[in-house]
Chain A
Amino acid sequence: MNTENTTSQMRKGVLEFCILSIIRRSEVYPSDIIDQMKAAGLSILEGTLYPLLTRLKNAELLSYRWEESVSGPPRKYFSLTEKGETFYQELQQTWTQLADAVNLLTREKDH
């Protein structure tokens, strides 16, 4: 049991939730997601994002449209589908419960 493995496991779980949250706020294209996550202090390997997006899209939680860009080829703009919205709600509920529980437990430990 090493720290790296555990941290990676912890991050893995919330990664999808974070990506969905960013997309839910506004239509974004992949580089935006990376920038926003970096800004929030959650740096990830960029390569990780693309398989996740494709899987979420294949699971019909996300949809995308092409938009022309001024600096280069057209970009894929992602948005949440209805199914994705429900999925997100469920994740959020779980997250709130989990975060509360974790907070409570870790605080009690501090006493």
Chain B
Amino acid sequence: MNKIININLAGRLIPIDESAYDQLRDYLNRLKLFFSREEGGDEIVRDMEDRMGELFQDKLKKGVPCIMAEDIAEMIGVMGSPEQIENEAGEEEPARPAPGTARQEQTFAGGKTKHLSRSKRDHMIGGVCGGMASYFNIDPTIVRIALVLITLAWGAGLVVYLLLWALLPVNDLDTPAVKRRLYRNPKQKIVGGVCSGIAAYANIDPIIPRIIFAAPLLGMIFFGIIDQGIFFFPVLTGGLPTLALLYFILWASLPEATTVAEKLEMRGEKVDVLSLSQAIKGAENEKDQPRKRSGIAQIFVVLVKIFVFFVLGTVLLTLAGVIVAVLAALLGFATTSFFVFPFSGLITENINHRYLLWTCVILTLIVPFISIIRVLVRIISGRKKPGSKWLNAALAGLFIFGVFGLFWVGSSIASDFKTPYTKTFNMPLSQPNNDTLIIRQMIIDDGGVVGDHDWDHDGWNNDHDGLRFRDDSTFAVSNLNLHFTNSPDSNFHLLIQKSAQGRNSRRAQQRAEALEFNYRQEGNVLLLPHDFTLPKQQPFRGQKLGIEVQVPVGKVFRTEGLDDNFYTNRIFRVRGGNFSYESSDYDAWDNDKYYRMTAEGPRSSSDKDNNKADSTAG
């Protein structure tokens, strides 16, 4: 006895015998599989179903009560089996290869030497990985992951990639497709199917990669239980995140083997009509038999699953954190650049350098930012195809330009520190009338206005360290130091030493002589500003001002309100691409105290002298 069922075949109601239905379904499945490798494959099968429906309807009109197995056989005879269709209508012109068929195994003319080239077909950015994979006959995904890891570790991967991108020619011809591809295996998955995919790729039992990936985790549990983890702990704590990260990378980057053709590729089997139809039969059988596990095994699997999900969740959060951190770092760099921006006149020698510097900074900041965003969008949206090739090339080009520009400007700046120049000027100083010289800090606000004496100098000066604007284009620099030495004669002397660096001594000299230091003398008080100014448009090239006050032996000096800048020794050095800055305080004297110069240097005076000072200070 056979059951008659009604089916809807492309909009037609067809009564069909059950065994005939099985045959029809089988035939349709084979057709679907066969055409799945072709663009518009679904449409072809739909159109064919339509025709089958038409043929069956003609049959039914002739008075047949239902479609029987013989009718199916007749119909297949009229339509042709997939193999016959391939013979009759198979494509041969390479001019328009369907994307699916391109993966099919292709026989290549023997003896052809392989050259390393960029793959036109298998590309995500420039096709470098695809080309390398084709050259070494491995899966491009493996090359890509390796490259990403190398880039993360040493940054060298990126350079190698860019170099290869620039150097290698594009291979226009279809490169011989890799027979075996790494996929995730959805059929035998516990977490993401990565391990079983690797197993299928390497033709080993899935338990092996699983153990490798789970080893640190299991070890941690095991040693945690027996409390002997101390010895293994570093190995395990290092291994777990690494492997978990690797697993996650693989999970994210490997496609799942969903179609039968992909499943065959995963095992490295030849993809043709015969193997496909065999595979689908096998797949159906697989579907019918649910995997059976004992109760304990099931519990174990559930426990492992929970644990792995927990760990992966942590890893995911960490990764999200890393991405956020990278974005934040970029943002931080951008913000820093923004604040440094007004001082760029101090960094660069001329306006062209300045424009170049900022263009390059912006390019090196924005391009990675855009790229990260694009990659994130691509991952989130699940789009595998990269965006416009030209856009990618343009972005990469701009980034390279930015990096090289920065390098060039940087080395140009470094070479501008090459030659130092120092000159000492003997400045006029009228002799103080009571053999006591008072050195007092002149209070200058940011507008350059000399203010009233503010004895609360500590609070005042703390905000004014290092570099700042005097007005729109003049920079005030506090790179100075004050020394007291023995005078060679019986007079006070003021020596000012100006130094600067430049790419040649002439330029260094110009810069040194251009320093402006506007000190003033009022009776026995020497008023010193705590900074000097650089003329308009002059960059900072280690300009430094040394103030040497020569005090004759037996005479007295006193400092009033001098801030740290006067006894901080700052050294700027740019050598071999390294910029170094050192500063050290030398504590030679205290403020508001009288010192008497002796042959051995300044000595603190007695309290009696201190009282005397108050009368002279005004």
Interface membership of chain B positions 489-530, coded 1 if the CB is closer than 8 angstroms to chain A and 0 otherwise: 000000000000000000000000000000000000000000
* A52 contacts across to B, CB distance below 8 A: 89
Q: Which of B38-46, B114-122, B461-469, B549-557 contacts A (4 or more CB under 8 A)?
A: B38-46
Interface residues of A in 35-71 (CB under 8 A from B): 44-55, 57-59, 71
> What is the CB-to-nearest-CB distance from A68 to chain B, in angstroms, rounded to a whole number?
12
* Interface majority SS (helix, strand, loop, mixed), chain A: helix
> CB distance A48 to B53 under 8 Å?
no
A83 adjacent to chain B (CB < 8 Å): no
Indicate whether A48 sits within 8 Å of B12 (C-beta atoms), given known contacts A31-B54, A54-B40, A54-B44: no
> CB distance B10 to A11 under 8 Å?
no
> CB distance B51 to A31 under 8 Å?
yes
* Cβ-neighbour of A50 out of B10, B48, B78, B91 (below 8 A): B48
> CB distance A72 to B43 under 8 Å?
no
> What is the CB-to-nearest-CB distance from A49 to chain B, in angstroms, rounded to a whole number?
8
B537 adjacent to chain A (CB < 8 Å): no
* A76 contacts across to B, CB distance below 8 A: 47
Indicate whether A72 sits within 8 Å of B79 (C-beta atoms), given known contacts A8-B87, A50-B44: no
> CB distance B11 to A72 under 8 Å?
yes
> What is the CB-to-nearest-CB distance from B537 to chain A, in angstroms, rounded to a whole number?
63
> CB distance B57 to A57 under 8 Å?
no
> CB distance B89 to A46 under 8 Å?
no
B287 adjacent to chain A (CB < 8 Å): no
- Cα A11 to Cα B89 with chains together (Å): 10
- In the A-B complex, list the 9 residue pairs whose CB atoms are closest, starting with the nearest: A73-B11, A45-B80, A47-B80, A47-B79, A48-B89, A48-B88, A47-B85, A54-B40, A50-B47
- Cα A50 to Cα B87 with chains together (Å): 14
* A51 contacts across to B, CB distance below 8 A: 35, 38, 44, 85, 89
A binding-site residues for B, Cβ under 8 Å: 8, 11-12, 15, 30-31, 44-55, 57-59, 71-73, 75-76
> CB distance A54 to B51 under 8 Å?
no
- Cα A55 to Cα B47 with chains together (Å): 13
* Cβ-neighbour of B51 out of A11, A15, A30, A44 (below 8 A): A30
B50 adjacent to chain A (CB < 8 Å): yes
B188 adjacent to chain A (CB < 8 Å): no
Indicate whether A8 sits within 8 Å of B12 (C-beta atoms), given known contacts A45-B79, A50-B44: no
Report the nearest A residue to B77, measured CB to CB.
A45
> What is the CB-to-nearest-CB distance from A42 to chain B, in angstroms, rounded to a whole number?
12
> What is the CB-to-nearest-CB distance from A56 to chain B, in angstroms, rounded to a whole number?
10
Interface residues of B in 1-60 (CB under 8 A from A): 10-12, 31, 35, 38-40, 43-44, 47-48, 50-51, 53-54, 57
Interface residues of B in 460-492 (CB under 8 A from A): none
* Cβ-neighbour of A55 out of B54, B82, B84, B91 (below 8 A): B91
> What is the CB-to-nearest-CB distance from A46 to chain B, in angstroms, rounded to a whole number?
5
B binding-site residues for A, Cβ under 8 Å: 10-12, 31, 35, 38-40, 43-44, 47-48, 50-51, 53-54, 57, 78-82, 84-85, 87-89, 91, 96
- Cα A44 to Cα B85 with chains together (Å): 10
- Cα A89 to Cα B11 with chains together (Å): 37
> CB distance B40 to A57 under 8 Å?
yes
- Cα A75 to Cα B51 with chains together (Å): 10
> What is the CB-to-nearest-CB distance from B37 to chain A, in angstroms, rounded to a whole number?
11
> CB distance B43 to A54 under 8 Å?
yes
* B51 contacts across to A, CB distance below 8 A: 30-31, 46, 50
> What is the CB-to-nearest-CB distance from B556 to chain A, in angstroms, rounded to a whole number?
101
> CB distance A46 to B44 under 8 Å?
no
Report the nearest B residue to A16, measured CB to CB.
B89
* B82 contacts across to A, CB distance below 8 A: 47
* A8 contacts across to B, CB distance below 8 A: 87-88
* B81 contacts across to A, CB distance below 8 A: 47
* B48 contacts across to A, CB distance below 8 A: 47, 50
10 further A-B contacts with Cβ under 8 Å, apart from A47-B48, A48-B80, are A30-B47, A30-B50, A45-B85, A46-B51, A47-B79, A48-B89, A50-B51, A51-B89, A72-B11, A73-B53
> What is the CB-to-nearest-CB distance from B69 to chain A, in angstroms, rounded to a whole number?
19
Report the nearest B residue to A13, measured CB to CB.
B92
* B35 contacts across to A, CB distance below 8 A: 51
- Cα A31 to Cα B52 with chains together (Å): 11
* Cβ-neighbour of A58 out of B39, B50, B79 (below 8 A): B39
Indicate whether A72 sits within 8 Å of B57 (C-beta atoms), given known contacts A48-B85, A51-B38, A54-B43: yes
> CB distance A58 to B88 under 8 Å?
no
* A72 contacts across to B, CB distance below 8 A: 11-12, 53-54, 57
* B91 contacts across to A, CB distance below 8 A: 55
* B31 contacts across to A, CB distance below 8 A: 47
Interface CB pairs A-B, < 8 A, 8: A44-B88, A50-B47, A51-B85, A52-B89, A54-B38, A55-B40, A72-B12, A76-B47
* A45 contacts across to B, CB distance below 8 A: 78-80, 84-85, 88
> CB distance B38 to A46 under 8 Å?
no
* A58 contacts across to B, CB distance below 8 A: 39-40
- Cα A8 to Cα B87 with chains together (Å): 8
Report the nearest A residue to B75, measured CB to CB.
A46
* A49 contacts across to B, CB distance below 8 A: 89
Indicate whether A73 sits within 8 Å of B50 (C-beta atoms), given known contacts A8-B87, A45-B85, A48-B88: yes
> What is the CB-to-nearest-CB distance from B83 to chain A, in angstroms, rounded to a whole number?
10
* A31 contacts across to B, CB distance below 8 A: 51, 54
Report the nearest A residue to B47, measured CB to CB.
A50
Interface centre among A11, A45, A59 (most CB of B within 10 A): A45
> CB distance A12 to B89 under 8 Å?
yes
> What is the CB-to-nearest-CB distance from A22 to chain B, in angstroms, rounded to a whole number?
16
Report the nearest A residue to B80, measured CB to CB.
A45
* B11 contacts across to A, CB distance below 8 A: 72-73
- Cα A12 to Cα B10 with chains together (Å): 28
> What is the CB-to-nearest-CB distance from B62 to chain A, in angstroms, rounded to a whole number?
14
- Cα A102 to Cα B403 with chains together (Å): 66
Interface centre among A47, A59, A75 (most CB of B within 10 A): A47
Indicate whether A53 sits within 8 Å of B89 (C-beta atoms), given known contacts A48-B80, A72-B11: no
> What is the CB-to-nearest-CB distance from B615 to chain A, in angstroms, rounded to a whole number?
104
- Cα A12 to Cα B53 with chains together (Å): 26
* B84 contacts across to A, CB distance below 8 A: 45, 47
- Cα A51 to Cα B12 with chains together (Å): 22
* B88 contacts across to A, CB distance below 8 A: 8, 11-12, 15, 44-45, 47-48
- Cα A45 to Cα B31 with chains together (Å): 14
- Cα A72 to Cα B12 with chains together (Å): 7
* B47 contacts across to A, CB distance below 8 A: 30, 50, 53-54, 76
Interface centre among B10, B12, B89 (most CB of A within 10 A): B89
